[in-house]
Chain A
C-alpha cells in the first residue's frame, strides 16, 4: 500500500531527474509529498484514535454497571432508578412484624436494557418495512424511468434534500402534525376496524398491574407511540436508502439489462433481474438505513412516547436506546444510573458499528464487480 503511494507521484519526474531545475522541483515536490503524506496519515489516525477513545471512555464509565449486571443487563426488563421501601412480606404473603413494628425492606434500583433494545429493534424494523419498498421503487424510477423523462436530476436533488433537513424539524413536525393526525384520525379508524377481530385484541388493550392485581385497560391512543416513531424514522431513512440503492442500481452493467431484454424479459422482469443483480449492495443500503434508524435521537424522543416497556401494540408508547439517553442523561447523578445509561450507549455504539461494517462489506466489497 505505502510503496504504491510513493510510486505514483514520483513516476512522471524520474525521466527528467538529470536537470538541476527539475531536480529542485523534484525535491520540493518530494517535500510536499512527505508533508501531505504526514497530514493524511495524521488525519486518518486522529479519526481512528477518536473512535478508540470513545469506546474506551464508554467502557470505563460503564464499568460499574457492566460489573454489577454483566450480560444479564441485555435481557432484564426492569428499569427503576429510585429505591423502594416497602413492608417486608414472608413466604405466605403476610407482612412481617417484629416487636410491634412493621419490618421494611429496601429494594435497590434496577437497570435492564431489554425494553429499549426491543424498542430500538422494533421501531427500526417497522421503519425499514415502510421505507425500503418506497426507496427501492424510487431508486428504480431514478435509474430506469427518470432519465428518459429528464427528471433524474431534480428528483435526486429532492431526495437528498430530505437528508439535509435537521432531525429536530422532523421531530417537531411529528409532534405537532403527525401525532395529532394519528390520534384523531388514523388511530380511532384502525381501532374501530380491527378491535373486534379475533386475535388482534393485544393491539388495543394492555394488562396493567394495579396494586398487585392485573387489570386489562384500553391503551389510550395519543399518537405518540411506536407507530408514530416508526413512521418518522421511515421518512428520515428514505433519503439514504434511496440514494445508496440508486448508486447500486446504476452500477448494474448495461449488458446485464440488455441481456435480460434480449432474452425476452418484460420491463418488470428485467427490473427484478436488476434488483437481484445488485442484491448485496441493496442489502447494504438497508443496513445503512437500519444504522441510521437505530441511532436517531432527537426526532424519535419527541414522538415515541418514552415509556420503558415491552408492549407489542404499535399504539403503545415505547422507548429506544437513543431516546432513553436523551431523556435521562441530564439528570442522572447517581453512579449506577449513569453507568447503566453509558452501558446502553456502548451497546448502541457496538450495534451501529456492526451494522455499518456489514453494510460496507456488502456495498463496497461485493457490489463493486457490478461496476466493472
Chain B
C-alpha cells in the first residue's frame, strides 16, 4: 500500500517536473536553482541538496563542481543562482560583480588541510610546526631524521630517508590555504614561493587533485604532501598534528577546525564576509583551516521569480543552520554560533527586485 502511494507520489512529482516548469500553480510548480563552483565542498553540497529535497519537496538545486574560478565566473555572468569559491573574492572580482554593496559572501562550512605523509614504521601521528613544514617544502629540510623534525617528535625513531614533497599541480583552494598558512610562518617561504591557488614549488612531485597528491604519497616512501582533511580520513592516509599559535600540537578534526572559525567570528562584519582563519589563537585550534564561501548577488536579479528567490534564501538558511549537522558526518567542520550569527545577518539583507525576501 505504502509502496503504491509512494510510487504515485513519485510519479506525480515526475509529472510536475515535466509539466510544472512554467505552470502558474504555485504549489504544483517546482523551483529549480543552479549553483556552481568549488570542488572541495562539493560532496557536502551534494548531500545538502539531496537532504533539502526531503525538507522542501519541489525545490531542486543542481550544484556543479567546476572549480572555484569557474564558480566566480558563473555568478559574475549571472548564469547561476549562487557561486561557490574556496578563496574569498579578490578586490578585482568584487569590482567585476558591481562592488561590495552589490554582493553577499558567506562562509558555508570549514575545511582543513593536513600534512599527509608516507613514512614506514610509524605508530603515531608525527608533529609538525609551521616553520618546519615551510622548510620541508622549500627543501631546507631534506631527510626525515633532520634534528628539527626529531626535536618536535622526541621519542619517535625517525628513519634516515629522503623527503619528497608532494603538491597540487592544478589551481585549488587547498593550495591557497596551505601556502597562505606557510607564508605566515616563514618570511623566506613568503618571498620565494608565496601564497595563492597555484604557486611554483621549488622541488618535489606534483599530482592533480587530492587523488593525484594522495597517489604520489602512497606510492613514494618518504613523501609528504598536503591534502584536505576529509579526503585523508576517507582514504585512511596518515597525517600529522600541527603546532598552533598557542604552541600546542593539534590534529585536524571537525571540532578543532570549527574552533578556528569561532576565533574569527568577531571580524565578520557586513555582507561580504571573509576571514582568514589559519593560525588562529586558542589551545585546541587547528591552524591550517579555512572557510569555503558561497557568493550571491544582494539583489537576486539573476533569479527570474520571487519564488525562486525565496527558495534560495530558505535553502541557504537551512544549509547554514540545520544542514550543518551533515558537515560533521562528512568530516567538514560546522560553522560555530558566532559565525552563524554573522551569516544570518548577511542573508537577511537579500532582496529580489528591491523587495526583501521573506
Contact = CB atoms under 8 A, between A and B. Distances in A.
- Judge: A and B partners, yes or no: yes
Interface of A: 79-87, 175, 179-180, 183, 208-211, 215, 217-218, 220, 222-224, 301-302, 305-308, 317, 326-328, 330-335
Nearest to B220: A222
Contact of B208 (A208, A222, A302): A302
B93 A82 contact: no
Given A330-B170, A331-B171, A210 B139 contact: yes
6 contacts: A81-B196, A217-B139, A217-B203, A331-B170, A332-B69, A334-B90
10 closest residue pairs by CB, A with B: A82-B196, A331-B171, A86-B191, A330-B67, A333-B69, A306-B169, A210-B139, A331-B69, A84-B194, A81-B198
B219 interface: yes
Contact of A223 (B170, B171, B202, B219): B219
Interface of B: 66-70, 72-73, 90, 92-93, 138-140, 142, 162, 164, 169-172, 179, 187-188, 190-200, 202-203, 205-208, 215-216, 219-220
A109 B139 CA distance: 22
Contacts of B66: 330
B162 A218 contact: yes
A327 B70 CA distance: 13
Nearest to A78: B200
A305 B205 contact: yes
A208 B202 contact: yes
A234 B171 CA distance: 29
Contacts of A79: 200
A224 B223 CA distance: 14
Given A220-B162, A222-B205, A307-B206, A331 B197 contact: yes
Contacts of A327: 169-171, 208
A273 B138 CA distance: 58
A224 B213 CA distance: 12
B129 to A, nearest CB: 18
Contacts of A217: 139, 142, 203
Given A220-B205, A224-B216, 17 more contacts: A79-B200, A81-B171, A81-B196, A82-B194, A82-B198, A84-B192, A86-B192, A210-B140, A210-B203, A215-B139, A308-B200, A327-B208, A328-B170, A330-B69, A331-B171, A331-B172, A334-B92
Contacts of B169: 306-307, 327
Nearest to A301: B208
A336 B240 CA distance: 37
Contacts of A307: 169, 205-206
A333 B93 contact: yes
A63 B203 CA distance: 32
Contacts of B93: 333
A89 B172 CA distance: 31
Given A81-B196, A85-B194, A87-B191, A210 B202 contact: yes
Contact of B216 (A87, A222, A332, A333): A222
A223 B207 CA distance: 12
- Which residue among A80, A175, A215, A327 has the maximum number of chain B CB atoms within 10 Å of its CB? A327
B67 A331 contact: yes
Contacts of B205: 220, 222, 224, 305, 307, 317
B200 A80 contact: yes
A211 B138 contact: yes
Contact of A175 (B142, B194, B215): B215
B199 A180 contact: no
A84 B189 CA distance: 10
B198 A328 contact: yes
Contacts of A332: 69, 171
Contact of A82 (B73, B195, B206): B195
A176 to B, nearest CB: 9
Contacts of B194: 80, 82-85
Contact of A85 (B68, B171, B191, B206): B191
Contacts of A83: 194, 196
Nearest to B198: A81
- Which residue among B66, B90, B191, B202 has the maximum number of chain A CB atoms within 10 Å of its CB? B191
B68 A331 contact: yes
Contact of B140 (A85, A86, A211, A333): A211
Contacts of B164: 220, 222
A87 B198 CA distance: 22
